Structure 1
Amino acid sequence: MSNLQQQRSAVTHIDGNLHQNADARIGIVVARFNGFVVESLVDGAIDALLRHGVLGSNITVIRVPGAFELPLVAQRAAESDRFDAIVALGAIIRGSTPHFDFVASESAKGLSNVATDYNIPVANGVLTTDSIEQAIERAGTKAGNKGSEAAMVVLEMIAVLSQLDIDDSSDIV
């Protein structure tokens, strides 16, 4: 075995898995605006969590008026220490004014800040589309269900972070 192969085999890999999730406590923060699309995202997220072993009693759905309100409620949920991860779901569909850009940008930035400020996985499952047709496609038809995908993201992130939290100070110099 060459030195390069030896060095390659010594590399540590940390990967998330989707097993052992019964104890995961998941908050799903949902924007009611564009509910005809968003409810499919909620169904997809809940289905994915249950299929991967999360107990129904460990899933809490919190509804807010729209995508702009998601970060504040996600922050409050993170502060509560009731959840191991948060899934944010909503749909922002472009209109004829710049309102779309402001809401999409602030919602995404706010959700990202919650994750880093509170050290908790936050999946941004907020659709940002140019048309109703695109939103419908991403909520369970041609493009899959982005709510389901967001739920899978938080499960994987819980697993990754739990591996990083293992205290093995004997290796630290």
Structure 2
Amino acid sequence: MASALKNLSDYNSDNLVDITEKKFGLLVAEWNKAITDTLCKGAYETLIKHGAKPENIIRNTVPGSFELSLGAQLLAQNSDIDAVICLGVVIKGETKHDDYICHAVAQGITQVSLKYNKPVIFGLVTTNNEQQAWDRAGGKHGNKGVEAAATAIHMLGISA
């Protein structure tokens, strides 16, 4: 569903798995840092709200969204990590770079998730302009970081 039709910060919190002993890798791209930091804050606060311990949330950064796949793999290969949440922003520019980056990240994150049989969440904001990115980082469409954290918790419930 398009985020214009649903607030990214709204999710069903019924029957969430207990995450008090779960360990999360929070992987954040530094490109568009102000926006990705806001996504990270939303994800972090959502995990804490549902019982994650601060010491069980490991935050790592990568230079840009393209590097999320390898960063996710490095976190996922750690058997202590139960889920990895990848957060980044790709804003369309004058070239088609966004198509290549988004496609590569989607495939890479999917491969990591399947390889390590654990949730690796695609929290990539892909927009046409910066304002649309802010709208999805706590603006009028909610926060994609909140949605990504809620997705990780839900996925842990089905893989438990």
Cα distance in structure 2, aligned partners of 1:29 and 1:19: 22
Matches within 5 A, 1:4-23: 17-23=15-21
Cα distance in structure 2, aligned partners of 1:68 and 1:54: 28
Larger Rg over CA atoms: 1
Matches within 5 A, 1:1-173: 17-162=15-160
Q: Which has the higher helix share?
A: 1
Cα distance in structure 2, aligned partners of 1:17 and 1:144: 22
Q: Which runs of 5+ in 1 are unaligned?
A: 1-15, 163-173
SS in 1 for 2:110: helix
- Matched letter for residue 82 of structure 1: D
Name the TM-score, length of structure 2 as normaliser: 0.89
Aligned residues: 147
Name the TM-score, length of structure 1 as normaliser: 0.83
- Residues 26 and 84 in structure 2, CA contact (< 8 A), matched pair in contact too: yes
Where relative contact order (Cα < 8 A, 6+ residues apart) is larger, the structure is: 2
Q: Which has the higher strand share?
A: 2
Aligned-pair RMSD on alpha carbons? 1.0
- Residues 90 and 125 in structure 2, CA contact (< 8 A), matched pair in contact too: yes
Cα distance in structure 1, aligned partners of 2:74 and 2:80: 10
